[in-house]
Amino acid sequence: MSKVSSPVILALDIDDIETAKKWIEATRSSIDIYKVGLEFFLKFGIPGLQQLRDHGDFELFLDLKLHDIPNTVVGAVNSIRDLAPRFLTVHASGGSQMIKAASAAAPKIEITAVTVLTSLDGEELSNMGINVSPLHLAIALAKNSVTAGARAIVCSPLEVAAIRTAVGDEITLITPGVRPADSELGDQSRVMLPKEAIAAGANYLVIGRPITSYFAQSPRAMSERANQIVESLS
């Protein structure tokens, strides 16, 4: 299937491989990048991802949020390099040397630095001993990551505009924490409407439950929901 150039990345946050395949089938007409995270990867590993890839032609956002010493991260990057994900996440807080090492190990993969998790707010950062706002921390982490070789940044939609100004137009900005007006917040603390996030400077939006929850009604309902959200962004 040809690419549809969708700004929506669907989060396959599930530990059931057959359901993940059905989610891809239901939404492939409007989505061409799928995010696979730790829940799926720890259960099924590389063979599971290969099954998904064999089942449908799509680009992979591999959301492992690597965070360790540079040599360990390089080993992890090498172990998944043959999967050729488009995006591979690392924690920006891992520092310049870690990000440089990851980028050098896989120059064809867009190493994607995660700044401040959207489940964290200012109060929680303060409890952790980090006495700056999520915005200021995210900007600093993004700038440091780009200097070290990251080609994409994950940030809250509330920080997209400021980070776009800080890192320029060549860097891909990806944001979770977007919720259509008729969706629940879930475990996200800092959210924005999808169209607002795109207008603020995001290239891609990671969306999960506001789409995947419709599968319980039917695959068609899920497909229509994905189409509705994608079309609302044009």
The beta strands (E) that lie in the chain are given as 8-11, 33-37, 59-66, 87-91, 110-114, 152-154, 172-175, 204-207
Out of 65, 100, 143, 195, the active site residue is: 65
Which residue reads 């995010």 in tokens?
Answer: 35
Residue 3 annotated in active site: no
Query: Among 109, 107, 105, 111, which residue's Cα sits nearest to residue 70?
Result: 105
Q: How many Å apart are CA 116 and CA 11, to the nearest integer? A: 18
How far CA 153 is from CA of 24, 34, 186, in Å, comes to 24, 17, 22
Query: Among 210, 234, 203, which residue's Cα sits nearest to residue 27?
Result: 210
- 152 φψ region: left (φ > 0), alpha (ψ -120 to 50), beta (else): beta
CA 154 from centroid of its chain's CA atoms? 6
Q: How many CB atoms lie within 10 A of CB 151?
A: 17
Instruction: Mention every residue, 6+ apart, whose C-beta is less than 8 A from residue 132.
Output: 125, 140
Q: What are the catalytic residues? A: 65
